[in-house]
């Protein structure tokens, strides 16, 4: 009998069709009732799961009897209880590298939009308010030649640094759990303590993965260290930042602006951030280009097929059983 694969979020339609050719597919749909109840039911006799953006842990996959792999269509894997998966001997795979450049592009989009007040000026223009030239309250911050502080000089952090260094002649400073000497050399990037980076940078971009050390890494104390003209960007994960402290820093004009792609609770439905004109809010679209989403889906497909054909998936996140 065909192996059973559970699709737990929307995935690329061509990849879904390829999966359907090989396996018995169960496609979950949150519009058809409680998604966790659907997962608990579907996973019982499933061999594999594929998707992104759902919390998977003991509460909804404990019923799995022969699950071999969860193939995540993402690079971040903070949605999954890795210890529990190790205990159950379920592989977890992800899709790194293919989304690095497009996510770095988005970080720069946010940086530039927030610095130059793009959304509010776009709105202003469309409202027909442009009767004479803009006034000083509508001026932005210069980007070229400024200091870019990157927290988390991993794959995406390095791609952001490259844009800043080569594209905008920026002085790069970075903070990471450990120094990244070789990567940093490419952009003449200086290693700093978190405190020193926050004090010095004109632009602060967060690009760490979410883990026990990076949770709530940036809070009220950290915003207090930043410069009044600083622009803060988060493309990592919402829980790296204390969102209330960020909101207050923006409300009090303690920093100039922020550009956000990620939030403590997603989807962001209601938020005091919506009342502010100095924050750009995007709906977690770091990797959301047609090309990249296709590559991620293909990679997740390959990870899944490998696991079901007794090969170790290329991008395994947890232990190899």
Beta carbons within 10 angstroms of residue 19's beta carbon: 23
Q: How far is CA 211 from CA 82, 148, 215, 216, in A?
A: 11, 23, 6, 10
Q: Name the H helices within the chain.
A: 13-22, 35-43, 58-61, 82-88, 100-115, 118-126, 155-162, 168, 181-186, 194-200, 220-225, 243-251, 290-308
Stretch that binds ligand NAP, among 80-88, 98-106, 165-173, 221-229 (CB under 6 A): 98-106
Q: How far is CA 215 from CA 151, 219, 262, 267, in A?
A: 13, 10, 13, 19
Q: Which helix (H) or strand (E) holds 204?
A: strand 203-206
Query: Minimum distance between the CB of residue 98 and ligand NAP, rounded to whole angstroms?
Result: 10
Interacting residues with ligand NAP between 142 and 161 (CB under 6 A):
151-157
**Does 266 participate in catalysis according to the annotation?**
yes
Q: Three-state DSSP class for 187?
A: coil
Rounded Cα distance between 141 and 144, Å, is 10
Residue 178 binds ligand NAP (CB under 6 A): yes
Q: Which is nearer to ligand NAP, 69 or 153 (CB)?
A: 153
**Does 314 participate in catalysis according to the annotation?**
no
> Which residue among 236, 255, 268, 304 contacts ligand NAP (CB under 6 A)?
236
Query: Minimum distance between the CB of residue 159 and ligand NAP, rounded to whole angstroms?
Result: 8
Query: Minimum distance between the CB of residue 21 and ligand NAP, rounded to whole angstroms?
Result: 29
Residue 197 binds ligand NAP (CB under 6 A): no
Neighbour order of strands in the sheet with 4-7: 24-27, 4-7, 48-51, 69-72, 91-93
CA torsion, points 38, 42, 47, 51, in degrees to nearest 10?
A: -20
Of 14, 58, 129, 266, the active-site residue reads 266
> Which residue among 175, 192, 293, 295 contacts ligand NAP (CB under 6 A)?
175
Residue 163 binds ligand NAP (CB under 6 A): no
The two tokens of residue 274 are 């919506």
**Does 229 participate in catalysis according to the annotation?**
no
Residue 131 binds ligand NAP (CB under 6 A): no
Q: How many residues bind ligand NAP (CB under 6 A)?
A: 33
Rounded Cα distance between 230 and 192, Å, is 17
> Which residue among 6, 46, 75, 98 contacts ligand NAP (CB under 6 A)?
75
Q: Three-state DSSP class for 93?
A: strand
Residue 218 binds ligand NAP (CB under 6 A): no
Residue 99 binds ligand NAP (CB under 6 A): yes
Query: Minimum distance between the CB of residue 158 and ligand NAP, rounded to whole angstroms?
Result: 8
Query: Minimum distance between the CB of residue 177 and ligand NAP, rounded to whole angstroms?
Result: 3
> Which residue among 45, 101, 105, 209 contacts ligand NAP (CB under 6 A)?
209
Angle at 151 between CA 150 and CA 152, to 5 degrees: 105
* Residue 110 · residue 165 · CB < 8 Å: no
Of 54, 155, 175, 284, the active-site residue reads 284
Catalytic residues: 237, 266, 284
Binding site for ligand NAP (CB under 6 A): 75-76, 96, 99-100, 103, 151-157, 175-178, 207-211, 213-214, 217, 235-237, 261-262, 284, 286-287
């Amino acid at each position: 009998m065909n192996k059973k694969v559970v699709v737990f979020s929307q995935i690329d339609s061509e990849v879904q069709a390829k999966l359907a050719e090989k396996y018995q597919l169960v496609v979950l749909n949150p519009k058809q009732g409680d998604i966790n109840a659907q997962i608990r039911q579907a996973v019982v006799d499933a061999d594999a799961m594929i998707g992104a953006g759902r919390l998977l842990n003991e509460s909804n996959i404990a019923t799995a009897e022969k699950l071999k792999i969860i193939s995540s269509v993402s690079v971040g894997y903070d949605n999954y209880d890795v210890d529990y998966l190790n205990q159950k001997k379920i592989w977890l795979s992800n899709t790194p590298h293919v989304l690095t450049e497009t996510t770095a592009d988005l970080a720069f989009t946010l940086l530039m939009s927030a610095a130059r007040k793009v959304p509010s000026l776009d709105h202003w223009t469309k409202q027909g308010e442009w009767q004479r030239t803009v006034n000083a309250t509508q001026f932005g911050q210069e980007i070229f030649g400024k200091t870019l502080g990157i927290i988390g000089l991993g794959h995406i952090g390095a791609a952001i640094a490259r844009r800043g260094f080569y594209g905008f002649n920026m002085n790069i400073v970075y903070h990471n759990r450990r120094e990244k000497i070789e990567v940093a050399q490419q952009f003449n990037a200086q290693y700093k303590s978190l405190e020193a980076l926050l004090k010095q940078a004109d632009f602060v971009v967060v690009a760490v993965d979410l883990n026990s050390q990076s949770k709530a890494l940036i809070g009220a104390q950290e915003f207090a260290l930043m410069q009044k003209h600083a622009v803060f960007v988060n493309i990592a994960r919402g829980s790296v930042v204390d969102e209330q402290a960020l909101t207050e820093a923006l409300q009090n004009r303690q920093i100039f602006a922020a550009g956000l792609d990620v939030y403590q609770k997603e989807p962001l439905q209601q938020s005091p951030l919506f009342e502010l004109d100095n924050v750009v809010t995007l709906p977690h679209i770091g990797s959301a280009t047609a090309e990249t989403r296709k590559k991620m889906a293909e990679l997740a497909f390959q990870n899944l097929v490998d696991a079901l054909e007794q090969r170790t998936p290329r991008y395994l996140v947890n232990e190899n059983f």
